[in-house]
Amino acid sequence: MNLVSDQPYRIRINMKQHPFKAGQLVFGSLVPWRGEWYWSGEQQFWDDASRVDVDDLKQDMKRRSPQIVCRYWKEYETQVRQRASDLHARMMTYYGKDLITYPDGLSMAADWQKEFRSYWESAPQHEVQEVIEKHGLKEGRTNMNCPKDLLEHTGGLGVFLNPDEGKEIMTHFVSLVTGLKRKDDTLTGDQERTIRGFFDAHAVSPRFVKRVLDEYGDESVKATFFLKGDLPSCWLDYLLRRQKGHFYRKRYPTLSVI
């Protein structure tokens, strides 16, 4: 029985004697294959599952591992995706565009604080009070936390409002834009490295890349990756699939709904 979704499911184990017994709680990874589930890697065992607070476990999983919860609990995945869609629509209303640039991290953080404050002040008071009481907010509002290195960044930041991924951030955005605007093969070493980094970044989606190239052009990308001559129209899609293949597989939301 999957405790996340409260649904039974069958797991294939290629062993003559499996290590499991009734009443046991097992933490482990599963991988889907041809309509079945397989155990992957090492499992952790708790022999007496009656001592486990299942509701508390679910809430903790939602906070820490929403992608895992969404994988096994389709109703929750639907709820999270709807919440993400609502958040994206709200951000688009606030910013009026899906690509925002900042000179430094402090400017970005200040703008985000204004954004959150506008949401908080425009929400119905009874909903605000419910959130305050539910989460024990001492200051009467949520706080935004940014990593120190992001706050101290001074090379420009580009923020893309991705309807599927949320806010995506690219650092060294000034160097990236300057390189893209050259549109030839006279790029500096720093500009080439920034363009390559944009394509190599694990957290930057193909959608973000295409949005930036629509804005600033793609000729410098061809020069950076030594793509010359009469290229087929699929050259960019091929490059993105090669550099960012994980985005073309099934992805689950990182947003939590508690």
User: Could you report the per-residue pLDDT of 186-232, keeping only the tens digit for each?
Assistant: 899 999 999 999 999 999 999 999 999 999 999 999 999 999 889 99
Under the banding of pLDDT at 50, 70 and 90, the label for residue 70 is confident
CA-to-CA distance for 218 and 226, rounded, in angstroms?
Answer: 13
Residues 174 and 156 sit within 8 Å (Cβ to Cβ):
yes
Least confident range from 182-186, 237-241, 249-253: namely 182-186
Between CA 116 and CA 112 the distance in angstroms is: 6
Q: Judge whether 125 and 141 are in contact, CB under 8 Å.
A: no
Q: Looking at beta carbons, which pairs linking 235-239 to residues 24 or more positions away fall under 8 Å?
A: 236/210, 239/199
* Cβ atoms of 171 and 121 closer than 8 Å: no
Dihedral of CA 132/95/107/173: which sign? positive
In order, the DSSP letters of 187-252 are --HHHHHHHHHHHH-TTS-HHHHHHHHHHH-SHHHHHHTT--SS--TTHHHHHHHHH-GGGGS---
User: In the sheet that 99-102 helps form, which strands lie side by side, from edge to edge?
Assistant: 99-102, 157-162, 166-171
The three-class DSSP label of residue 131 is helix
Give tens-digit pLDDT for 28-37.
888 888 888 8
- Say whether 69 sits in a helix, a strand or coil: helix
Q: Is residue 155 predicted with pLDDT exceeding 90?
A: yes
| The residue type at 218 | D
Helix residue ranges, H only, 3-101: 54-64, 66-72, 74-95
Q: How many CA atoms lie within 13 A of 234 on its CB side?
A: 3
Per-residue pLDDT at 25 exceeds 70: yes
pTM of the complete model: 0.80
